[in-house]
Amino acid sequence: MAKYSLEFKLKIVQEHLEEKRGINCLVKKYGFNCNTQIRKWIHAYNELGEEGLLRSRKCRNYSV
């Protein structure tokens, strides 16, 4: 289960993009420790739209 729902991520990204709220303001409003996660969501949304905010469910295999 994802720590943050798609709806929550989308709400934050839309507050930033549509309501012109600053990232640091959103960090304080939602109780994040730093702005890194919100910045990643905004970047992912700008690149891929809502799909960018979906949790990746790829099975990752690494060679030894």
* pLDDT given at position 1: 61
Domain range list for the chain:
6-51
Spatial distance between the Cα atoms of 23 and 2, rounded to a whole number of angstroms: 22
Confidence of residue 40 (pLDDT cuts 50, 70, 90): very high
Spatial distance between the Cα atoms of 62 and 38, rounded to a whole number of angstroms: 28
Q: Could you tell me what percent of the chain has a pLDDT over 70?
A: 89
Token pair in block for residue 32 = 């994040």
Confidence of residue 6 (pLDDT cuts 50, 70, 90): very high
The answer on pLDDT for 31 being more than 90 is yes
Model confidence, pTM: 0.82
- Burial class for 13, CB neighbours closer than 10 Å (0-12, 13-18, 19+): buried
